[in-house]
């Protein structure tokens, strides 16, 4: 009989598992805390668990981490791990420390089927969904490895304060495994993170945004990358199925469930493709809708910071715009926007009252675009050939408002 990896069970799942062994709920809570809060994998070391339960678990359960293939540490503190998930597949996790937080970027799939033009993972094609255990194992390993190195924050005793499901894969195309993982991240007996500190980043799988709103409304980031459907069709192929208007409607519905929240829109700055001031103006129209008269405009620095979201009122969507510097890789055929162009783009948004940040690049000395390391492990060339053939055609440019 195959042992169950307990990293894959949320608390209710673990309660059911323990009940199947004839054990009470509070035993499952104890076990859950040993695993996630204390990072213990060996049942024999769980000293306040009844010996009879430890013996039962030894035969049917395990706590199994992912094998580390490589670890790269940047001078700025960023750490990138490559984990083996079997059959030649590998996934990445990135730890990003800042003054007041430490974020872990987690992968949800080996490869990705969405195939965004500017994404190295997308160029590798899709291999398989990760299990809940494989998703949670990334946090479990990083949290407890770095805690052992003394990297805990004084305020909480924990290392990781924020999670972004923004590594390899489209998390909403692995929904069944994602939701229990989110519940483990949020559970007070697990990692105890608030749902505003756990962000699901999606390229726009509209029906699943609606389901997430019902099942586990974590913070939502949406990869927008273009102000119109013609361009977005080319950059994010999923747009052909769920065009921008439908996507923004689903964002509005999402916020109905969490009215004090906002959506983060991600926008990867590509030289000569989506970075013109006219396109920024188009983006403003798209996101701002009709502002409520008399509402003050939000101000923000384009250089980052923790500005509050724009409350656009009216038909606008409360949101933040995050401009991401493109991380070039040879097969993309795309170039990074020059800094001055990024700042001019940000200025248009800020002047319109949209809170806008420009993401800092981190870990430059260990740099590889997300997915590049894993791509070296398994190169799915058919997807690469398909995607490198067609150039991005830029059309439907709009004029700047007078």
Which of 7, 79, 110, 114 is the binder for ligand SF4 (CB under 6 A)?
A: 114
105 annotated active-site = no
User: Any idea how long the chain is?
Assistant: 402
Residues within window 116-145 making contact with ligand SF4, judged by CB under 6 A: 116, 119, 121-122
Contact map string, positions 186 to 225, toward ligand SF4, x by CB under 6 A: -----------------x-------------------x--
How far apart are alpha carbons 346 and 353 in whole angstroms?
Answer: 11
Residues 309-328 that bind ligand SF4 (CB under 6 A): none
Rounded-to-integer distance, Cα 190 and Cα 158, Å: 11
> Which DSSP state fits 227?
S
Instruction: DSSP letter for 165, please.
Output: E
Would you say 169 is a known binding-site residue? yes
Least distance in Å: CB of 104 to ligand SF4? 16
Question: C-alpha angle with apex 176: 27 to 257, nearest 5 degrees?
Answer: 90
Pick the stretch among 37-45, 92-100, 108-116, 139-147 that binds ligand SF4 (CB under 6 A).
108-116
Q: Which is nearer to ligand SF4, 11 or 168 (CB)?
A: 168
**Among residues 66, 85, 165, 168, which is the contact residue for ligand SF4, using CB under 6 A?**
168
Q: In degrees rounded to 5, what are phi and psi of residue 126?
A: -105, 135
Distance of CA 300 to the CA centre of its chain: 23
Neighbours of 70 (CB within 10 A): 14
C-alpha Rg value of the chain to the nearest Å: 22
Least separation, in Å, of the C-beta of 30 and ligand SF4?
A: 37
| Burial of 347 per CB tally in 10 Å (0-12, 13-18, 19+) | middle
Q: Which three-class secondary structure state does DSSP give residue 74?
A: coil
Strand partners, 28: none
248 is an annotated ligand-binding site residue: no
Provide, rounded to whole angstroms, the least separation between the CB of residue 19 and ligand SF4: 38
112 counts as binding ligand SF4 under rule CB under 6 A: yes
Between the CA of residue 374 and those of 47, 123, 140, 312, what are the distances in Å?
39, 11, 20, 40
**In the bound complex, which residue of the shown chain has the CB atom lying closest to ligand SF4?**
122
Rounded Cα–Cα distance for residues 373 and 356 (Å) = 30
Distance of closest approach, residue 114 Cβ to ligand SF4, in angstroms: 4
Active-site hit among 23, 92, 134, 143: 92
Q: How many CB atoms lie within 10 A of CB 186?
A: 19
18 is catalytic: no
Q: How far is the CB of 387 from ligand SF4 (least distance, A)?
A: 10
Among the residue ranges 12-20, 167-175, 280-288, 329-337, the one whose residues contact ligand SF4 (CB under 6 A): 167-175
Given 18, 251, 319, 370, the catalytic residue: 370
Catalytic site positions: 92, 370
Residues lying near ligand SF4 in the complex (CB under 6 A): 112, 114-116, 119, 121-122, 168-170, 203, 223
Binding site as annotated, residues for [4Fe-4S] cluster: 112, 116, 119
């Amino acid at each position: 009989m195959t042992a169950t990896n307990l990293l894959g069970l949320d608390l209710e799942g673990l309660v059911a598992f323990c009940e199947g062994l004839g054990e009470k709920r509070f035993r499952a809570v104890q076990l859950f805390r040993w695993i996630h809060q204390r990072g213990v994998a060996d049942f024999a070391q769980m000293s306040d668990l009844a010996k009879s339960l430890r013996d039962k678990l030894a035969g049917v359960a395990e706590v199994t981490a992912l094998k580390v293939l490589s670890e790269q540490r940047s001078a700025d503190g960023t750490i990138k791990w490559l984990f083996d998930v079997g059959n030649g597949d590998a996934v990445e996790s990135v730890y990003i420390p800042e003054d007041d937080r430490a974020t872990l970027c987690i992968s949800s799939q080996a490869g990705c089927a969405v195939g965004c033009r500017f994404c190295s993972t997308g160029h590798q094609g899709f291999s398989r969904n990760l299990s809940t255990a494989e998703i949670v194992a990334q946090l479990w390993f990083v949290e407890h490895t770095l805690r052992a190195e003394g990297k805990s924050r004084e305020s909480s005793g924990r290392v990781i304060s924020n999670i972004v499901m923004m590594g390899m894969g489209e998390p909403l195309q692995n929904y069944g495994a994602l939701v229990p993982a989110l519940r483990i991240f949020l559970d007070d007996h697990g990692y105890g993170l608030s749902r505003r500190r756990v962000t699901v980043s999606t390229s726009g799988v509209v029906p699943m945004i609606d389901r997430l709103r019902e099942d586990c409304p974590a913070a939502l980031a949406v990869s927008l990358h273009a102000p119109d459907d013609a361009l977005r069709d080319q950059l994010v192929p999923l747009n052909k199925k769920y065009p921008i208007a439908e996507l923004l409607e689903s964002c509005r519905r999402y916020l109905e469930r969490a009215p004090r929240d906002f959506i983060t829109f991600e926008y990867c700055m590509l030289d000569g493709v989506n970075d013109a001031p006219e396109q920024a103006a188009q983006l403003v129209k798209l996101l701002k809708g009709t502002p409520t008269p008399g509402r003050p405009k939000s101000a923000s620095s384009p250089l980052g910071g923790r500005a509050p979201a724009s409350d656009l009122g009216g038909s606008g969507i409360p949101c933040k715009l995050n401009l991401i510097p493109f991380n070039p890789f040879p097969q993309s055929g795309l170039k990074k926007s020059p800094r001055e162009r990024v700042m001019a783009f940000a200025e248009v948004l800020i002047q319109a009252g949209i809170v806008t940040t420009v993401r800092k690049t981190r870990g430059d000395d260990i740099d590889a675009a997300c997915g590049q390391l894993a791509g070296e492990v398994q190169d799915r060339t058919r997807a690469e050939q398909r995607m490198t053939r067609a150039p991005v055609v830029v059309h439907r440019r709009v004029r700047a408002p007078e």
